[in-house]
Amino acid sequence: MMHFENTLAFAQQLDQKDSLKQFRERFCFPTFHEKEIRYFTGNSLGLQPKTVKNYILEELDAWAEYGVEGHFLAKRPWFAYHENLTEMAAKVVGAKSIEVVVTHSLTTNLHLLMVSFYQPKGKRTKILCEAKAFPSDQYALESQVKFHGLDPAEHLIEIAPRTGEQLIHEEDILAAIETHADEIALIMIGGVNYYTGQLFDMEKITKAGHKIGAVVGFDLAHAAGNINLKLHDWGVDFAAWCGYKYLNSSPGGVSGMFVHERHAYKPELPRFAGWWGYDKETRFLMQPGFNPMKGAEGWQLSNAPVLGMAAHLASLEIFEEAGMDRIGQKRDLMTAYMEFVIDSISKQNSERVQFEIITPRDKTKRGAQLSIMAKGQGKALFDALSAEGVVADWREPNVIRIAPAPLYNSFEDCYWFGQLLEKAIQ
């Protein structure tokens, strides 16, 4: 491991050497606080790229100028607006263009994909998932099971951390897949757990799932734009993610869907259909009977929500320029530095507080997020941090989640987080 120092000079040195450092100034940093904001919630809502405003204004102007004809006359015709996003989004998640579409919102897309890929039949009726998944995913999974007339208590297999532990052992997931080999219809897991920041080996889980004849999908809300994904090569059947966390594409912004190429040419797959999923060449003949587009585009229901997509376009261009390889390298270094800073502060103040980083220490098992458990301190510590201008995330009973985002956070931010944490302890 690299030698680190918890000093301002050292953090500034790391910033000097950072090949992504010029990207920071392309984002709007919040100004609502009297203190300088230290923003660490890119895992919740990414900051606004400065180009977003113009991209949205262009569409507002096109609407004003053309009215409905903007569908064809706008600089980027609305009729096919989502096509501007596909290739760049596909690169971010390691997919082919035919496997990706951007539209709707995340939970909607999870449902649409499960309608197609959760098909309980005979003895194979169960969904394997992680315990304490993000609440929306829990509700989605439960309601999908009930939708098929089944009982969630019996048909959801939840893999939990072992007693007294925070993280899930990957071997427990693999063992459960073996144990329930002929009962599992679908494996659906968050690629990165939102609470602990634990990254799962999606390739290994996919292979294990396919070996027993199950379908495998992932919620990538905390992985897209954060982890170096290879969805196509890993053979994942389907995935969905939101655009507003690490992807910085506006609150409630558009979501991405991945459907593996092997499912691209199956019009017979059950699905909830809408006109925008209909074959583009003959869509406006408005004929009865649904003829889906090939690939992920066949899961679209509605015409493109252009304003949200304009924000996503501006943001994806930044990802295109920076590249996920460089983003991943900085993510690993900066997260390791943040970890070092927290450990240093923790050691120096051990008589007052015990910090335990519950996120895996192994960089191959996490992304940009660190979840810190503050033993012996509660919400007061978090409130004191907030009063100093730190924007982080609090989860009951005592976890602070922070995510230094490689595109706009600096090593100096991490240093100051440590200083402000120390001040808050005292």
Ligand X SMILES: *Cc1c(COP(=O)(O)O)cnc(C)c1O
Say whether residue 312 binds ligand X (CB under 6 A).
no
Question: Contacting ligand X (CB under 6 A), which of 38, 76, 126, 222?
Answer: 222
Nearest residue (CB) to ligand X, 92 versus 421 = 92
Q: Could you give the CA distance from residue 421 to residue 426 in angstroms, rounded to a whole number?
A: 9
> Taking the CB of residue 176, how many other CB atoms lie within 10 A of it?
17
Residue 70 or 161 having the CB closest to ligand X: 161
In order of 98, 154, 179, the CA distances from 157 in angstroms are 32, 8, 11
Residue of 251, 233, 310, 315 lying closest to 106 (CA atoms): 251
Q: Which residues pair with 49 in a beta bridge?
A: 27
Cβ-based nearer residue to ligand X, 129 or 310 = 129
- Asked whether position 107 contacts ligand X by CB under 6 A, the answer is yes
Residue with tokens 């490689």: 406
Report CA torsion sign: 88, 91, 93, 99: positive
- Which residue among 11, 187, 221, 324 contacts ligand X (CB under 6 A)? 221
d(CA 182, CA 106): 30
| Residue 106 within binding range of ligand X, rule CB under 6 A | yes
Nearer to ligand X, 190 or 256 (CB): 190
Q: What is the 3-state secondary structure (H, E, C) of 237-250?
A: CEEEEECCCCCCCC
- 130 in contact with ligand X (CB under 6 A): no
CB 337 within 8 A of CB 269: no
Question: Between 190 and 225, whose beta carbon lies closer to ligand X?
Answer: 190
Residue 277 binding ligand X, by CB under 6 A: no
Nearest-angstrom CA–CA distance, 259 and 218: 11
In this chain, which stretch among 13-21, 130-138, 258-266, 350-358 interacts with ligand X, using CB under 6 A? 130-138
Binding footprint of ligand X, residue count (CB under 6 A): 12
Residue 226 contacts ligand X per CB under 6 A: no
Binding mask 164-203 for ligand X (x = CB under 6 A): --------------------------x---x---------
Bridge partners (DSSP) listed for residue 356: 373
Binding of ligand X by 219 (CB under 6 A): yes
3-state SS assignment for residue 217: strand
4 vs 39, beta carbon nearer ligand X: 39
Q: Which residues bind ligand X (CB under 6 A)?
A: 105-107, 134, 136-137, 190, 194, 219, 221-222, 242
